[in-house]
Structures are given as structure tokens and as C-alpha cells.
Amino acid sequence: MDQLISQVILGLVSGALLVLLALGLNLILGLLEFINFSHGALYMVGAYLTSYLIVATGSIWWALLLVPIIMGLFGAGLERTLIRPIYRRHLVDGLLLTFGLSYVIIEGMRMIAGSGGRRVPAPAVLDFQVPLGVGRPVPAYLLFVVVVVGAVVAGLWLFLQRTNVGLIVRAGIRDHVMIRALGVRFDRYRTLVFALGVAVAGLAGVLTGPITGVYPEMGAEILVLAFVVVVVGGMGSFWGAVLAGLLIGVLVSLTTLFASVYAGIVPFVLMILVMAFRPRGLLGTT
């Protein structure tokens, strides 16, 4: 039972990181109707920036503050220069563009940092175990990750629900033609949403580094799971992405405990079932 509870907790941690990536994808897909296949590569860049900032400053706290800002600015630049001309073209064009961009970013990072991975130390202040009363003690850093993800999810929800900018973004997701007809300069909000999605991906890279280390292919491996989360939760559904990310994280973790050979296919089996019997996703709308 202790091992079972520990696996559930580990699943919630990995699911929380999936939630961050999926929320960024969902924002971009919902508002811009654009499939950003470079999202995983940008997540990887955030993880590498974290490793370099820790070497430069000796602390991961600066990375938590600076990497989302740097990645957000980088995302805004990408949107204005490469992504914006693609909006009026076929959806496949954007997919091909970002697919190629992801390989450029990965190979560029490999040229800069090498093919070997880099170890990212967890904060010394969180280097201890926390007894939860049930199951085995949990590393404090993993609980810290869950708390940070929870705070980011709450902050994004409040931003979308309680601010005028969030109101325009939500309205744009439903009908961007009407928003333009009302005189809103929608292009700036497109840039904001793309930058916000990339910043969230960068933050996920910061949090993942001390758990898995960083290496050039890390983004490609997790990107597919992030898309699965988006599909299972429902296209454009905020809480659907949260629910699906946590559910997939726990299912994969439990399958690893009881039948590890099948752990890799569990998310895709779930996606197939959802697409067959509930195509709009768990919390998506028709």
C-alpha cells in the first residue's frame, strides 16, 4: 500500500508537468487555431537555460523568475516574425513550419551544449524528505513542483476569467471574427497568447530539470504526451487539460508499478477510447 500511494504521488507530479505543457498548447490552439509543434523544443530550451543560469548564479530561484520572461519574449518574437504570416494559410503549413523549427532548435542546442545531458541540481533548501503520514516520505522538491504548478494554473485561470485581457482572449477563442468587428486590435492579443504559452512551456522546463536532467531530445519525448492530454481533455478546455494531465500521469505511474511493459501505451489507449466514445474530450464542448 505504501508503494501504491507513493506511485500515485509520483504520477501527480509528472501529470502536473504535463498540465503546464498542455495548457500552453491549448491556449495557442484555442485562440490562434495553430498547431505549435515546436512547443516541446521550446520546453527543452527552458530547461537548458535553467542549467546555465544555475551555473551563473548558483541558484534555481533566478531561473524560476527569469526563464519564463526570456521564453515569453522569445515566443513573442517568433510569433511576429515566423508564425503570423502563416495564419491565413492552410493549417498544415503551420504544422510543417513548427515541425521544422523544432528540429532547428534541437540541433542548434546540440551544437551549443553537446549531445550529452546536463545535470540540474535541486535547490539545497528543498533537499529533504517529507513524511505525509501515508506511503513513503516524498522528496520536498516534488511537492514544491506540485505547489508551483497549482499556483500557475490558478493564476492562468484568474487571468482568463477576471481580467479584461482574459475576457478578450476567451471571446477570441469562441469567435475572433466578431472580436475584430467590434474594433479590437486582435493581433496584439495573438502575440500575447503565443508568448504566454511559450513562457509556460519554459517554466515547465525549469521545474523538470532537477527531476530528469536536461538533454536535447527531452522536448520531443514529452510533446506527444502533451498533445494526448489536449485531445483527452478537450480542445480548448482549460480544466479538461488539467484533469487529463493529472489522470494520464497517475495512470502511467500505476501501470509502471504493476505492468511496466505497458506503461508507454496507456496514454494512447486512453486517447483512442476518448476519441471513439467522447470525441469532444472529457470536458470539451461540441
Cα–Cα distance, 71 to 54 (Å, whole number): 16
Give me the pLDDT at residue 266, please. Answer: 92
Give yes or no for a contact between 21 and 71, defined as CB atoms under 8 angstroms apart.
Answer: no
Give me the pLDDT at residue 68, please. Answer: 95
Q: For residue 30, what is its C-alpha cell?
A: 484555442
Task: pLDDT band for 235, please (50, 70, 90 cuts).
Answer: confident
Task: pLDDT band for 171, please (50, 70, 90 cuts).
Answer: confident
Task: pLDDT band for 53, please (50, 70, 90 cuts).
Answer: very high
Q: Where are the alpha helices (DSSP H) in the chain?
A: 2-32, 39-57, 60-78, 91-113, 140-162, 164-181, 186-212, 218-233, 238-259, 266-277
Under CATH, what is the fold of the domain 2-117+132-277? Answer: ABC transporter involved in vitamin B12 uptake, BtuC (1.10.3470)
Give me the pLDDT at residue 165, please. Answer: 81
Q: What is the pLDDT of residues 61-107, one digit of tens each?
A: 999 999 999 999 999 999 999 888 887 787 788 889 999 999 999 99
Q: Shortest CA distance to 188 belongs to which of 203, 172, 204?
A: 172
Cα–Cα distance, 142 to 6 (Å, whole number): 12
Q: What is the pLDDT of residues 103-125, one digit of tens each?
A: 999 999 999 888 888 888 888 88
Mean pLDDT of 29-55: 88
Give me the pLDDT at residue 135, please. Answer: 65
Mean pLDDT of the chain: 87
118 bridge partner residues: 214
How many of the other CB atoms lie within 10 Å of CB of 195?
Answer: 22
Residue type, 279: P
First to last CA, the chain: 40
Give me the pLDDT at residue 275, please. Answer: 92
State the DSSP string of 173-201. Answer: HHHHHHHHHTT--HHHHHHHHHHHHHHHH
Highest mean pLDDT among 198-202, 256-260, 279-283: 198-202
